Structure 1
């Protein structure tokens, strides 16, 4: 690949199919578009290496559970039915209980779509208002068990670390800086008074040369925000075009049959031009691949968005059981070997259940009515799963004891690393036009994910090509690390030499 030729009329290899006019436009397009785009290429390669080890701040399920205090039955005076009544809700499915607001136990009652849940005090049954500064500071202090001072920093609607649209129901966010050794910054929801994001000082600093710049987040949260998606898409399209033109130029300038008079097969004697040509030939394919897969990450023009029907979650849950009332939290806590940190109510095939979580690993499953341990009848669970896509036959169920190419776990800092991927799991294959797969946890009945043709294509064109997340390679670290770092450094060398060449030429033009 070469940004520019050292000669005004480069020699044309015998048999080259391009006309002189076409070659001239090819050279000019690559030369001048590369002046700007090679800056982006270099930034993407270097920031991508940072993202291999430091991701954009997020709060994983395991982090959240680790900072919650175990539930104390003596501090909970309100039954689940009372909490639902206080919030004006009748269905316990989705209800949760945790000591998550100011260190005190509260019920969270799900709101509507894209709405924050309602919060009910588990001690008094009162429906709590939105959280102010004092609540946010108390929540932040309780996050570390009261060990460190919490410094309130006011509210933010959106800042460098909180661009995720998943945080929209919680805005504005209270920002609290802690005196812990990692200098953690906590973001507390003004709607619920709960921590929704944490970011250590190291994460915050590395993100300026990592995810924040890699995803072009300088264009987020300001006047350019409505066009951020289009900016990323069209820069990527232009990047693919520049990389392709550079590849063609590099091949045209390489002497395959006989060397130049200098004895080299590359015509460039100046070191920067020569290194750009050689690194382009070596790393052109990976450059094109990574820029193209970055484009695919944006789901441009919604090419991966199908028209699949939504899952019939209500049919899968079934009709709620009749009385008796839900078991009180004290009975649920007493039925467990150790106090849980969180209780979640759910329903599968008409059976009310409670998932009790104490930390990493699978939750314990209890009956929501009598607090007895519960295990699914496999035949009944299969019948319920068949109702997830009405009108589409359930073609098969495969039990997975190991990850497959579409359902696998990543490191917690990775883009989707916060999503739990428990094993064993069931893979349900449906006979609908979109060839839908659904992943299900046979222990808890939770829906773990959904894949259709579009999602599976995105997995290969984005996740595989961009992150090389082939499970066989991920299992052989540090081979994965060494390979990606080598290729990234090669792409960075290609890009940085292009930057130098381009700006030298631009400077000459401006001086002239």
Structure 2
């Protein structure tokens, strides 16, 4: 007991201020969300597409890339391309199974250099969609911008300051031409007070970003130990009198008479349980020792899933209404489909195939599974306990309906597939199911009734 008290006291002293800051920054995240733009926000600000006769098909754009950038297609499949306007010019944004992106002109098939000049045009279109007449000033081109998801695949970034009262900064990816961030001064302040501190981003400024995950792991582990020892001390001293066992004098269930010490006992015991759960789940979030399987399918698995496909010239681009801002070409094996999106994020079926048939979806799952058999498949009209929107993934990233394909392997792997375009949305096995409950459910409270509660929604944003 003396050793336990010593560990609890001194680890508690060392971690008390840290835990206050860490939990406070977590609450800022929970109530402010992320400054990274969602796909829904990006679609809402795109200019009308208005395809013209003679524009290249997605297949032609992919062929142009294969001819000029062999490394882009070597060892990787191309299964996704988006036709948008970059500034005023139409371009296909082509992505391979490694996540690499290239922009190709839909007019002549030339690679598009997303220079600061073109990025400024894109940023001005964003402001126009915001109905803002603010001017725009180029800041810099940087490899690192705080608060951007998938930064390694999208860098470098062109940054522009909108000359408005809110201090808005717009960030454009030089790889894809996407506006990946448009945050006001206040929103950036919330990010720095929240995620920047909570995730130890200051280490990036010290050129120690590669140690950030390790630092988070150790901090979470020490915080968990400190909270857990406090809970154990409290439980040892607690005498509730169950089953006729003795209590303290005058029927007290704890040893203290002073109000402050009584408060410390109960607040420490009850709050310590929550602190231990949050710290422990935060410790697990870094996947220490790789005890959980990877969160996403590997590039090799994606290449198998999407398959090689047959080379074709592609059909002419369909005529679409004025409200359409993006055409998305998706390929799965030999099947291909083009889907139109408007600013509301609504998908519109076009003439011809409007979805990939179930046979092609099951065949793709079988390619990924290899020698493992398909155990079952089931259409989903609603989210389940594992396939849910949240954590920066909205309805665009987690669409419904979906198809779940279960594999007959030892890990009971499930594949969640978008039947509209064949995208592999989620790969889940028993290890990731445990992670979902041990980390996500405990840390974000994104289950059951809490999923619809304000705190769970914000912490999942």
Distance 1:461-1:380 versus aligned 2 partners, 3 A rule = same
- After superposing the two structures, state which structure 1 stretch, 182-191 or 230-239, moved more: 182-191
Aligned mates of 1:431, 1:207 — CA distance in 2: 43
User: How many pairs does the alignment contain?
Assistant: 442
> Are 2:159 and 2:172, in contact at CA under 8 Å, matched by a contact in 1?
yes
Distance 1:425-1:81 versus aligned 2 partners, 3 A rule = closer
Alignment match of 2:271 (pick from 269, 272, 283):
283
Q: Which residue does the alignment assign to 1:394? A: 374
User: Is residue 108 from structure 1 mapped to residue 85 from structure 2 by the alignment?
Assistant: no
Alignment match of 1:355 (pick from 331, 339, 355):
339
Q: TM-score, normalised by structure 2?
A: 0.85
Aligned mates of 1:240, 1:247 — CA distance in 2: 10
Q: Which residue does the alignment assign to 2:448? A: 471
Alignment match of 1:456 (pick from 407, 413, 433):
433
Q: Which has the larger radius of gyration?
A: 1
Aligned mates of 1:189, 1:419 — CA distance in 2: 20
Aligned mates of 1:160, 1:384 — CA distance in 2: 36
Aligned mates of 2:456, 2:146 — CA distance in 1: 30
> Are 2:330 and 2:422, in contact at CA under 8 Å, matched by a contact in 1?
no
Q: What's the CA shift for 1:307?
A: 12
Q: What's the CA shift for 1:194?
A: 3.4
Unaligned segments of structure 1, at least 5 residues: 1-22, 485-512
Q: What's the CA shift for 1:107?
A: 1.8
Q: What's the CA shift for 1:479?
A: 8.7
Distance 1:249-1:383 versus aligned 2 partners, 3 A rule = closer
Aligned mates of 2:296, 2:166 — CA distance in 1: 45
1:1-400 maps to which residues of 2 (within 5 A)?
23-74=1-52, 77-89=55-67, 93-99=79-85, 101-110=86-95, 113=98, 115=100, 117-132=101-116, 134-145=117-128, 147-162=133-148, 164=149, 166-179=150-163, 183-254=167-238, 256=240, 257-259=246-248, 265-267=254-256, 269=258, 271=260, 273-305=261-293, 313-314=302-303, 316-317=305-306, 320-321=309-310, 323=312, 325-329=313-317, 332=318, 334=319, 336-361=320-345, 363-366=347-350, 372-379=352-359, 381-400=361-380
Alignment match of 2:404 (pick from 420, 427, 430):
427
- The structure with higher relative contact order (CA 8 Å, sep 6+) is 1
- 1:107-137 Cα shifts (integer Å, max 9, x gaps): 223367353x2222334443223523x2222
Q: What's the CA shift for 1:156?
A: 2.8
Distance 1:188-1:452 versus aligned 2 partners, 3 A rule = same
Distance 1:432-1:264 versus aligned 2 partners, 3 A rule = closer
Q: TM-score, normalised by structure 1?
A: 0.77
Distance 1:318-1:119 versus aligned 2 partners, 3 A rule = closer
Q: What's the CA shift for 1:287?
A: 1.3
Unaligned segments of structure 2, at least 5 residues: 68-72, 241-245
Distance 1:277-1:224 versus aligned 2 partners, 3 A rule = farther
Distance 1:418-1:135 versus aligned 2 partners, 3 A rule = farther
- 1:411-441 Cα shifts (integer Å, max 9, x gaps): xxx4445862111211111001221100112
- After superposing the two structures, state which structure 1 stretch, 293-302 or 168-177, moved more: 168-177
- SS where residue 341 of structure 1 aligns? strand
Aligned mates of 2:297, 2:212 — CA distance in 1: 29
- After superposing the two structures, state which structure 1 stretch, 196-205 or 371-380, moved more: 371-380
Q: Which residue does the alignment assign to 2:70? A: none
